[in-house]
């Protein structure tokens, strides 16, 4: 059975810290492992790397480099086989 997981940065508090997508370290179709770095975002304090929460395949990348993101915004979708 296949499932999909949405990647979000719900731990962000954008009222204090705006976050911006800098670059993706993976592409659509790439297989990722849990805790693998997949995304770099820029916070006031500097760059922060976002790890994959699961093993799976990057199905869709939604947030583009340069985009300001919100905590509940869907950034990407990982398919779990």
Q: Mind listing the pLDDT tens digit for each residue in 42-74?
A: 988 889 999 999 999 999 999 999 999 887 789
pLDDT score for 18: 74
Q: What is the bridge-based pairing of β-strands 31-32 and 3-7?
A: unpaired
pLDDT score for 71: 76
Q: CA of 44: how far to CAs of 16, 28, 41, 81, in Å?
A: 9, 28, 10, 36
Q: Which residues pair with 3 in a beta bridge?
A: 80
How far is the C-alpha of 17 from the C-alpha of 22, rounded, in Å?
A: 15
pLDDT classification of 77: cutoffs 50, 70, 90 = very high
Does domain 3-80 fall under CATH 2.40.50.100? My reply is: yes
């Amino acid at each position: 059975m296949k499932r999909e997981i949405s990647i979000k940065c719900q731990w962000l508090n954008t009222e204090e810290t705006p976050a911006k997508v800098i670059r993706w370290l993976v592409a659509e179709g790439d297989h990722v492992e849990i805790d693998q770095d997949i995304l770099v975002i820029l916070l006031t304090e500097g760059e922060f790397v976002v790890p994959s929460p699961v093993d799976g395949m990057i199905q869709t990348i939604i947030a583009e480099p340069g985009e300001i993101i919100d905590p509940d915004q869907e950034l990407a979708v990982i398919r779990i086989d």
